[in-house]
Amino acid sequence: AACSYKLRNVELHPLWQSSSSVTGGTKQSPIDIQARSSVFDPKLKPLSICYDPTTCLQIWNNGYSFVVEFDDTTENSVVTGGPLNNNFRLKQFHFHWGAINDWGSEHTVDSKVFPAELHLVHWNSDLYKCFEEAIMEENGLAVIGVFLKLGTHHPELQSVIDLFPSIKYKDAVAAFTYFDPSTLMPSCPDYWTYDGSLTTPPLTESVTWIIKKKPIEVTQNQLAAFRSLFFTSIGEEEKKMVDNFRPLQPLMDRTVRSSFR
Ligand code: SG7
Ligand code: ZN
């Protein structure tokens, strides 16, 4: 009782220690997707994804996740269609995962949690000049989410994991100049979509979320490799990079639409 304001015993990741993590927003992410409450929208087109592997630039440990970044100065890697009325350029992809397989994804489906979730982050290049501008604006971003589940080895993901030894610690960067992220997508075209936010500060409500229904499969060893990275910089007391997901947010006055019956 002497310390009732302290809601949790665990230390907050530094990313969440500022007031920017309090939003009072009405369109926050992630959410639990309730399949039965989602509404089939026959007007939703298939997603059209066009990625050029040569726009891949580098991989880095940003102290919260590992991020694979792309050259977004051209229209070479773009997504359009689906719920999107504009072209959205690929900026980066990253993952969220748990300390164990029982949790780790940001979104859930009918309360089912996956061990990890991939986010491919794109910005609206028809309306905005750059990623940093689009982050703050209405209809600025489109993030494609893909769940990871335990199963067979994923060879293309392995080519990313093979770079981990050089990005173990915060702020480490390694060149990664040829990669096609569409190899990380399930072949099934089905998705849910809803309007939401970034899941880290600044938590801006600028994101059209597109969550693929089908997960991709990875092995226990591949998930273990994610957990071998560190939140911390070289020389600091080592903290394993795990549990880098935001808790579920209320749906509020929103509808999740589905591309499939
Ligand atoms: C991860 O998730 C990083 C962030 C990302 C954030 O922390 O990938 O990106 C960088 C470059 O640090 O923030 C603005 C942005 O993409 C939140 O992204 S998310 O909403 O898709 N989870
Ligand atoms: Zn994310």
Q: What is the mean pLDDT of residues 34-54?
A: 97
- What spacing in Å lies between the alpha carbon of 3 and ligand 2's midpoint? 32
Q: What is the mean pLDDT of residues 182-202?
A: 98
Token digits of residue 118: 């991939």
| C-alpha dihedral, 15 to 18 to 128 to 85, nearest 10° | 70
Amino acid identity for residue 222 in this structure? Q
- The pLDDT-based confidence of 183 (bands split at 50, 70, 90) is very high
Per-residue model confidence (pLDDT) at position 107: 99
Could you tell me the pTM of the whole model? 0.95
Contact present, 110 and 32 (Cβ < 8 Å): yes
Amino acid identity for residue 21 in this structure? S
Q: Beta strand pairing status for 108-109 and 32-33?
A: parallel
Contact present, 139 and 214 (Cβ < 8 Å): no
Q: Is the pLDDT of residue 177 over 60?
A: yes
Ligand 1 pocket test, candidate residues 13, 93, 200, 205, most atoms within 8 A of CB: 200
CA distances from 53 to 10, 12, 182, 183 (A): 40, 36, 9, 10
Per-residue model confidence (pLDDT) at position 161: 98
Pairwise pLDDT comparison (19 vs 236), residue with the higher score: 236
Looking from the CA of 179 toward its CB, the CA atoms found within 13 Å total 25
Residue-wise DSSP of 97-154: E-SSTT---SSEETTB--SEEEEEEEEETTT-SSHHHHTTSTT-EEEEEEEEEE-S--
Contacts of 133 (CB under 8 A, 6+ apart): 140
Q: Is the pLDDT of residue 2 over 50?
A: no
Residue 141: CB within 6 Å of ligand 1?
Answer: no
Residue 258: CB within 6 Å of ligand 1?
Answer: no
Token digits of residue 258: 């589905």
Residue 96 pairs with which residues in a beta bridge? Answer: 117
Question: Could you give the 3-state DSSP secondary structure of residue 256?
Answer: coil
With a pLDDT cut of 70, the percent of the chain lying above it is 94
Q: Which of 151, 164, 141 is nearest to 116 (CA)?
A: 151
Per-residue model confidence (pLDDT) at position 19: 61
- The pLDDT-based confidence of 15 (bands split at 50, 70, 90) is confident
What ipTM was assigned to the predicted interfaces of this complex? 0.93
In ligand 1, which atom is closest to the CA atom of 94?
A: 8
Which ligand has an atom closest to residue 62 CA?
1
Per-residue model confidence (pLDDT) at position 16: 80
Q: Looking at 12-16, 91-95, 211-215, 239-243, which range is the least confident one?
A: 12-16
Per-residue model confidence (pLDDT) at position 9: 52
Sign of CA dihedral 92, 22, 240, 155: negative
Amino acid identity for residue 130 in this structure? C
Q: What is the mean pLDDT of residues 186-199?
A: 98
Ligand 1 pocket test, candidate residues 27, 66, 94, 97, most atoms within 8 A of CB: 94
Give the residue, by CA position, lying nearest to ligand 1 atom 13: 200
Give the residue, by CA position, lying nearest to ligand 1 atom 16: 121
- The pLDDT-based confidence of 18 (bands split at 50, 70, 90) is confident
Let me know if 218 is exposed, middle or buried by CB neighbors in 10 A (0-12, 13-18, 19+): buried
Q: Express each pLDDT in 120-166 by its tens digit.
A: 999 999 999 999 999 999 999 999 999 999 999 999 999 999 999 99
Per-residue model confidence (pLDDT) at position 14: 85
